[in-house]
Structures are given as C-alpha cells and as structure tokens.
Structure 1
Amino acid sequence: MYVSEWENGKRTISDRYATILRQILGVTDAELRGGPLAVALPMADGYDDLLSRIDSAGSVSEDMVESFNCQTELLRTMDRQMGASRLIDQMTGHLAALEDALNFSVLPSARRPVALALAGASTLAAWQAIDSGAVERAWRHYELAKRAARDAEAPMYLAHAMAEQAYVLCEAGRPSLGVELVRDAQRTLGQAGSPRLRAWLYAAEAELCAHADMPDDCRRALDAAVRSIPPGSEDRDPDMLSIFLNGAHLARWRGNVLALLGDDDAVTSLYGALEVVDPTFVRAQAGLHCDLAQAHLVRTEYEDANTHLRQARLLASRTGSVRQRRRIDLLSARL
C-alpha cells in the first residue's frame, strides 16, 4: 500500500523508510525523492535513454562546438561592458549545456573540443562569480575548468584556470597560498604556452606577491612579465582567447602592483595606462581609477584620490561589481 502511494505521490517517504529503500534500490536520497516514480525498481529501459544521450553528444559537430565558443565570446563581451550580475542565468545555462555534452561524449576525439570549450567558459563564469562576490561558486567553476582542461589535454587552459583560482585564495585572505598556486601553474605550463600567457602568469604572480608582502619576489615577477610580453599593440592571444594583454595593459597592471607596494612610480604608470585604455573595458576602467586612488593615497594626495574614487564608483555601479565596490569602500575609509 505504501509503495503505491509513494509512486503516485500521495505519501511522502519518511526518513526511516528512505534509509531502507536507498539500500534496497541502490539510489541516492535525491534520486529516491526526485518524483512520483523515483522509487520504482530500476528498469533496463534506462539504457535507451543513456544511449540516446550518448548518440546526441556524439553528434556534436565542429560547427556546434564553434557555436558554443561564439556564445562564450558573446558573454565575455557583454561581461566586460555590462558586468557579470546580468548574465548569471545565461552563463548557468551555457555551462550546463557544455557539461552535458562532455559528460555523454565517449571517444577522445569527440571529448577534447567540447572539453576545451567548457574550460574556457568555466574560467569566464568563475571570474564573473568573483566579481559578483560569490567566491564558493567561483571556486567550483575553477575546479570544473581544471577538470575540463585536463580532459582536453590543454596545459595553457589548465595553467590559466589555476592562476585565476589563486585570486580566490587572495580574496579570502590567503595570498601566500595563492602565490604557491600561481607558481605551480607556471610549472604546469612549462614551455608549452604562448609568450603572452607566460607574461600574464608572471604579472599575476607579481600582484599576488604584492598582497603577500613579498616585494622582492614581486619586482622580479614584474620584470619577467615585461621581458615576456610580445611587442606591438595586439592584445588578444590567438591560442587563448580569454587573455587580453599587451604593453599598455601590462603598464596598467604594473601600476596596480606598484600601488600595492606603495611605490611612487605607480602614478606615472597608471596615468599612462589611463590614456590608452579601451573604453569598452568598463570594469577595467573602474579598476584603473581604483589603482590611481590607491597610488594617490600613498602620496597623501587626498583630493586626487577622491576624484578617482568617485569615477571608480560610477563605473562600478554600471557593471554591478561587488568586488570593486568593496575595494572602493576600503579605499574611501582611508580618506
């Protein structure tokens, strides 16, 4: 009688019976309570559904993977102009579709391109989560990105995900552990990556060293980044589309790091970067004004610092960046 009522949804399964049924049926609690038919004995029909999903994943063509990548690119563009807060639903659906395609792909030739697309999308989603203040979600997305990069046998994507994940540790108050992780990312990459990615990794190391109060290591990493960056104005890495870095971007990053160290040279670097910053990178502009405010505070130039904080606050409001608003509040408290 109970079984019939459970199957028809007329009676809720108590914890006592749930413990017994999970052992009999070999199902999880979520599966057991997942619907009216959840307690039905497993049937061989499940193989039909499994094979259907495997066939569907196996039919993912190069054009389909390219469509996934185009969607990631669209979300990346919207993110840098509008911020992450408006994109959560689109990003969640995009990741779910990619992960589903990967989970049911069988052969390596089918898995690798999907895994590579998932790695790129997951790091974007993770950085958006950091910007929104959702640090646990960011951590889980980076773990997904790393698994996908390993599946794709893509050391560049793996190193990038590891180094960005180090920022979660820094935000959580463990910058020294973040330094260890970004250095491990550099070892993971070895000589396999592009010069632009190596420069990015050195710059990330420098920033984390600044937060960890390691000034000598910080300056060595900055010098290595400058030596590694390719010449010219091109900023997009053709081998890793999530990396935007050229000499001008690196100058801004260097200014940010020097400001963290309290170095007077920070102001010169940052104003130079402000003159050439891409206006479509709204969040980056907000960060640049924050950096200038911090640099002026070090020099006790409070009026200039306040001017840049006001501009940073306006830009951060446009993108809804929780991370930047927190930084603005901390800097404002020092005025």
Structure 2
Amino acid sequence: MRPLLGLTDAELLGTESSAPPVDGYDDLVGRIDSSLSVSHTMVKTFMDQTELLRTVDRQLGAAGLVDQMAGHLSTLEDALTFAVLPETRRPVAQALAGAATLAAWQALDAGAVERAWRHYELGKRAAQEAEEPMYLAHAMAEQAYVLCDAGRRETAVALVREAQRAGGSQASPRLRAWLHAAEAELCARAGQPDDCRRALDAAAACLPEGADARDPDMLSIFLNGSHLTRWRGNALALLGDNDAVSSLYEALNGLDPTFIRAESGLRCDLAQAHVSRGEFDQAQEHLRKARLLAGRTGSVRHRRRIEQLTQGL
C-alpha cells in the first residue's frame, strides 16, 4: 500500500479514531493556527526552561536530563515548524538555537558524539534562521570540540576560527574572548604552542573587566578573569608548560562551587600539569577528586580523560 499511495506507515495507518478520515489539511491548519499563539511571553518561557536545564546540568550533570532535554527540543522544533511568518519564526529559532547547543554539549559530555553533532547542526540552522550570528558562532565553536575529540584537531582549529568570522563585529566582547580562549585550547591540543599563546593574549585583551561572568547577550557564556585563568592553565597544561600549575591553583581558589563539572576538568588539568613536572603524588590526589566529581555528574568525557591520565602515571 505504501508505494501505491506514496504514504508513510504513520500516514497510512493513522491513529485509532471513530472520526471519518481527512486529507491532512485540517490537522495542518490547526497546527499553524496554534503557532500564531506563540507570543514573546511563550518564547521567554522556552528560554527560561533552557536556563533551568543549564543550571541543573552545571551542578548535577547531564545524565538525568536526557528525556527532559529531548522533550524541550521537540516542543521548540514543532513550534518553529508550524510558525509561518518571520516575526514569529525568528524568536522561536533563537530559543531553539540556544537549547540545541546546550543539548549538544550535554550529549558530548555523555559520550553520545553523533547526537552531539546532529544537535550542533540543528543549533546552527536555527541560529541562521534567527539571524543571530552570536548563536551561530557559539554553536560552531563548540562543535569544533567534537572534531577535536575525534582526532581531527587541525580541522577543529579551522572551525573555531570560522566561528570567529561568523560572529564578526556583532559578537559581544565576552563572546569574542570566549572564542579566542576556545581557539587557544584547541591549538594546544593540536600541538600549536605559538598560536595557542597568541589566542590566550587575544582572549585577555577582549575580556571585559570585573567579576561578572554572565554575558547578557549570550546566556550560555560564562567568562570572567577567574574563568580565563582556568582556561589559560588548561591550555598551558596541555602544552606541558611549568606556568600552568600557578594559573590552575589560582583558578581553583576562585572557582564557583556550583560549577561541579568544571571543577572535575580543572583537577584533570592540575593532574596533567603535575605529571609534566614529575609530581606524581599530587597528580594522583587531583585525579582521585576528579573521579569523584565525574561520578557525581556522570561525565563520560571527563572519565575518559581521567583514565588516560591515570595510565600515564
């Protein structure tokens, strides 16, 4: 029946109902009419839900959020699919771009790399629909980490630089600093020490002064001087630079205690820095604490790194 009628199984079989069959237009028009009621208040509700999921993820990890995140994305995708006019579509697309990028990072942390890649692609498409270069640049730069973890490090560096160009002059100073810091880490992983140090200097030059970390124009960005010090220590540890230890301890002392996953990564960086200096006892202690934190958040990505560092002791 399917090849004869050109229908899918779901369209052919339909749902159990006593109502007479229809040609699909009634349902489509109903969905389109419903999309007209998606107001700015509803979009704010979508973004508030993303923010709640981001907060829980930061403190407890992504493992328990798979179903909630999938449902949230599905709701946003449906809202965008049946919205017709640009003034309705753009705000929903912006909300979807932020949610999809968060879902992608959560998937990457859980080791679900294909899901992460597909969510980043969704986030990029939504950012383009929303005409939001900052959201596009952020999704591209985070997607570069998937490439890096897959061993395509030079391509990852190229992608994060493309992200900087995508953001262009519309990127906020804090986002520009974040993009340069991401470039520095990826350059360190790609064995490009000079480019890494240049990117770190560029990040420091862009970063606004003060203790505020949240970018009001890009809520997924948290970056202040303390965070950049941690990032600098991470990059230097990857390069085997002796200066990494002092930067990392400074960052550890100033770390927000709610950033549980970030602390796990920071302790991995400290372990790597101590290994480079031949200080194996200190490295083992940081790995022990990192393992406990990774267990609390369920971070497969951090567990993998901990095992790699443990094997090097």
TM-score computed with the length of structure 2 as normaliser: 0.96
Instruction: Give the letter for the 2:4 counterpart.
Output: I
Instruction: Give the letter for the 1:305 counterpart.
Output: A
TM-fit CA distance, 1:25:
1.3
- Whole-Å Cα distance in 2 between the matches of residues 50 and 35 of structure 1? 16
Instruction: Give the letter for the 2:211 counterpart.
Output: S
Aligned to 1:243, what secondary structure does the other structure show? Answer: strand
- Whole-Å Cα distance in 1 between the matches of residues 13 and 312 of structure 2? 53
TM-fit CA distance, 1:35:
6.5
Equivalent residue for 1:113, pick from 91, 100, 103: 91
The question of 1:48 aligning with 2:30 is answered: no
Instruction: Give the letter for the 1:251 counterpart.
Output: T
Aligned position for 1:27: 7
Aligned position for 1:252: 230
Equivalent residue for 2:294, pick from 270, 294, 316: 316
TM-fit CA distance, 1:227:
0.6
Instruction: Give the letter for the 1:284 counterpart.
Output: A
- Whole-Å Cα distance in 2 between the matches of residues 31 and 150 of structure 1? 31
Instruction: Give the letter for the 1:72 counterpart.
Output: T
- Whole-Å Cα distance in 2 between the matches of residues 146 and 29 of structure 1? 31
Instruction: Give the letter for the 1:306 counterpart.
Output: Q
The question of 1:96 aligning with 2:70 is answered: no
Aligned to 1:257, what secondary structure does the other structure show? Answer: helix
Encode CA deviations 1:43-79: one digit per residue, 9 max, x unaligned: 43x1110010011111111111111111100000000
Structure 2, unpaired ranges of 5+: none
Instruction: Give the letter for the 1:25 counterpart.
Output: L
TM-fit CA distance, 1:28:
3.9
Aligned position for 1:177: 155
The question of 1:78 aligning with 2:56 is answered: yes
TM-score computed with the length of structure 1 as normaliser: 0.90
Aligned to 1:190, what secondary structure does the other structure show? Answer: helix
- For these two proteins, the number of residue pairs brought into alignment is 311
Give matches, 1:278-293, under 5 Å.
278-293=256-271
- Whole-Å Cα distance in 2 between the matches of residues 155 and 218 of structure 1? 24
Task: Call closer, same or farther: CA 1:323–1:35 in 2, change over 3 Å.
Answer: same
- Whole-Å Cα distance in 1 between the matches of residues 67 and 38 of structure 2? 23
- Whole-Å Cα distance in 1 between the matches of residues 8 and 195 of structure 2? 49
TM-fit CA distance, 1:210:
0.9
- Whole-Å Cα distance in 2 between the matches of residues 217 and 61 of structure 1? 46
The question of 1:210 aligning with 2:188 is answered: yes
Encode CA deviations 1:192-247: one digit per residue, 9 max, x unaligned: 11000000000111111111111111111111011111100000000000000001
Aligned position for 2:249: 271
The two structures, once aligned, show a CA RMSD in angstroms of: 1.5
- Whole-Å Cα distance in 1 between the matches of residues 14 and 114 of structure 2? 26
- Whole-Å Cα distance in 2 between the matches of residues 167 and 265 of structure 1? 24
Aligned position for 1:151: 129
Equivalent residue for 1:301, pick from 279, 289, 302: 279
Aligned position for 2:201: 223
- Whole-Å Cα distance in 2 between the matches of residues 322 and 31 of structure 1? 39
- Whole-Å Cα distance in 1 between the matches of residues 36 and 233 of structure 2? 48
Encode CA deviations 1:255-311: one digit per residue, 9 max, x unaligned: 000000000000010000000000000000111101000000000100000110011
Runs of 4+ that moved beyond 6 A: 33-37
Aligned position for 1:6: none
- Whole-Å Cα distance in 1 between the matches of residues 16 and 96 of structure 2? 34
TM-fit CA distance, 1:34:
6.9
Aligned to 2:170, what secondary structure does the other structure show? Answer: coil
Q: Percent identity?
A: 70
Aligned position for 1:141: 119
Encode CA deviations 1:136-158: one digit per residue, 9 max, x unaligned: 00000000000100010000000
- Whole-Å Cα distance in 2 between the matches of residues 191 and 66 of structure 1? 26
The question of 1:162 aligning with 2:169 is answered: no
Aligned to 1:79, what secondary structure does the other structure show? Answer: helix
- Whole-Å Cα distance in 2 between the matches of residues 84 and 193 of structure 1? 28
